[in-house]
Amino acid sequence: AQSVAQPEDQVNVAEGNPLTVKCTYSVSGNPYLFWYVQYPNRGLQFLLKYITGDNLVKGSYGFEAEFNKSQTSFHLKKPSALVSDSALYFCAVRDANTDKLIFGTGTRLQVFP
């Protein structure tokens, strides 16, 4: 079965510092990986997706994700964090057998001024 894991419930970072939100995956076959962000009282917003062959994927709002096949990871990164980046981040994988989107447990990012 396909799955993703987000090992950190919360990540704290100072504004202007680089941030990383971790995600590891377990899939059979090709990985179809996504990152979403959820601001308070809002739905999920699509940030980026893994594209086969690209180890560094660029997405919305200055976010990027680094795909590492040997470590089965798809970590979300940003070179310089903003207070407005504070939100709940979900990593997700598309299950090729069922077409379901399977979410990680989420990581709360807190950026301090």
φ, ψ for residue 17 (rounded to 5)?
A: -85, 160
Question: Binding of another protein at residue 44 (CB under 8 A)?
Answer: yes
Tally of CA atoms within 13 A in the half-sphere of 76 that contains its CB = 33
Question: Binding of another protein at residue 41 (CB under 8 A)?
Answer: yes
C-beta separation of 91 from 102 below 8 A? no
Count, residues near another protein per rule CB under 8 A = 24
Piece of the chain touching another protein by CB under 8 A; list 16-24, 46-54, 61-69, 72-80: 46-54
Instruction: Please give the helix or strand (H or E) that residue 109 lies within, else none.
Output: strand 107-112
Question: Binding of another protein at residue 58 (CB under 8 A)?
Answer: no
Among 32, 63, 67, 74, binds another protein (CB under 8 A): 32
Beta-bridged to residue 4, according to DSSP, are 25
C-beta separation of 33 from 49 below 8 A? yes
93/35 Cα distance (integer angstroms): 9
- Between residues 58 and 100, which has the closer beta carbon with respect to another protein? 100
Q: Which of residues 77-96 bind another protein (CB under 8 A)?
A: 88, 90, 94, 96
Q: Rule CB under 8 A: which residues touch another protein?
A: 32, 34, 36, 41-46, 49, 51, 88, 90, 94, 96, 98-101, 103-106, 108
